[in-house]
Amino acid sequence: MSLHVIREILNKEAFSKDDLKVLLSANEEDRNLIFEKAARIKKENVGNKVYFRGLIEYSNRCAKNCYYCGVRSGNAKVQRYSMTDEEVLDAARFALENHFASIVIQAGELFSRVHVLKIGELLLKIKELSQGKLGITLSLGEQTEETYRYWYECGAHRYLLRIETSNPELYRKIHPENKLHSFESRLKALYDLRKTGYQVGTGVMIGLPFQTLDDLAGDLIFFKEFDIDMAGMGPYIEHEDTPLYQYRHLLMPRIERFYLSLKMVALLRILMPDINIAATTAMQTIDPQGREKALMVGANVIMPNLTPLKYRENYLLYQDKPCIDEEAQECQHCLEARIYMAGCEIGWDEWGDSLHFKRKIESQKQ
């Protein structure tokens, strides 16, 4: 692909699916043009600030059996856990005292009344502990609209629900075919979250077996058309205790998955200039400077891990996950250094809500 063609596409007001496929296939020299444009758009629209979301991996218990996930219900090798209330509150307190201003509570997908009420109780306790100063994002999978509303009323205001792919056929290849793993249910959950009032985030895995550039271009179009407020996506990293591991011979080399992921981040920033985009941990799994590189091409959110060390090795959604042996304080200092190395600054004591979401709300009021 010539630089001239890449420049021509990047100068367009809007990209077609074919344009996106060309950009996603850009080689080393060509992709730098994409990265430069994304960095410029990021600076002009969301500035240079990076927002911390203290990550609390609350539980690895999951009712789902997704073929790519290390904590799927069918993996008997995993030691299951749920953090105690006090452990969750300690992590929230750490975030507050260290000026993160925001946390993410993530866990496997569970639907019982006990689980739903427990999350609500924790949200209320965190709000009380922080006197409303901590912003709270949830990543707890598909739930009923009633559950989403309950958690929203208890104090959560952002929700990340990754679709993993916008192609229904590929979705069925990476999930069991039953009512518990339905592409249509996933989409409905995203619409329910939007209706409830959350800032809605989603994302995909990049470099899956059977995945094509056409699929990834479709993912970018899906994000734009659904009008997401935030995104979390990164390279697919295989896990040996999953059904998808048998197709590892179909995978592109990890470093190619990494650069494809960077291109996805950069193109999403160009397509949606004012959303929040996370620099995900999976990036760092492949490249030691992976998260810094994501920040430099469009990401503006980073998630220091606040989960107690004793649980970390049991929350391995994929293999070779970094930072599982770092205490929260170490993780924080490490990420601070990474952010400054990437030429960014940290938005201390700021929720860092999606500007895209804020603008949508303001336009609805007019």
In the chain, domain spans: 3-365
d(CA 351, CA 102): 6
N-to-C CA span, the chain: 45
Mean pLDDT computed over 136-153: 98
Residue with tokens 């107690």: 308
Tell me, what's the pLDDT at 29? 86
Q: Is the pLDDT of residue 366 over 90?
A: no
Tell me, what's the pLDDT at 318? 64
Amino acid 166 reads S
Structure tokens at 254: 């990890």
Degrees (nearest 5) of the Cα angle 271, 317, 58? Answer: 95
Q: How far is CA 2 from CA 30, 75, 275, in A?
A: 7, 47, 30
Residue 237 neighbours by CB distance under 10 Å: 22
Asked if 103 contacts 134 with a C-beta cutoff of 8 angstroms, the reply is: yes
Degrees (nearest 5) of the Cα angle 86, 88, 89? Answer: 65
Tell me, what's the pLDDT at 343? 87
Nearest to 52 by CA among 226, 264, 306, 227: 306
Residues 6+ apart with CB under 8 A from 312: 57, 305, 323, 324, 325
Nearest to 236 by CA among 266, 202, 261: 261
Asked if 70 contacts 78 with a C-beta cutoff of 8 angstroms, the reply is: yes
Taken in order 27, 29, 30, 34, the sign of the CA dihedral is positive
Structure tokens at 205: 């895995």
Q: What is the pLDDT of residues 16-67, one digit of tens each?
A: 999 999 999 999 889 999 999 999 999 999 999 999 999 999 999 999 999 9
Architecture of the structural domain at 3-365: Alpha-Beta Barrel (3.20)
Structure tokens at 356: 């895209």
d(CA 148, CA 248): 36
Asked if 298 contacts 268 with a C-beta cutoff of 8 angstroms, the reply is: yes
Could you list the beta-strand ranges (E) of 156-278: 158-160, 199-202, 205-206, 230-231, 234-235, 276-277
Amino acid 197 reads G
Q: Band of the pLDDT at 363, cuts 50, 70, 90?
A: confident
Amino acid 4 reads H
d(CA 93, CA 129): 8
DSSP 276: E
Residue 175 pairs in a beta bridge with none
d(CA 67, CA 320): 18
Mean pLDDT computed over 128-149: 98
Q: How far is CA 293 from CA 126, 300, 331, 344, in A?
A: 33, 11, 18, 11
Q: Band of the pLDDT at 197, cuts 50, 70, 90?
A: very high
Mean pLDDT computed over 132-147: 98
**Residue 219: which H helix or E strand, with range?**
helix 213-226
d(CA 359, CA 365): 10
pTM: 0.96
Q: What is the pLDDT of residues 288-302, one digit of tens each?
A: 899 999 999 999 999
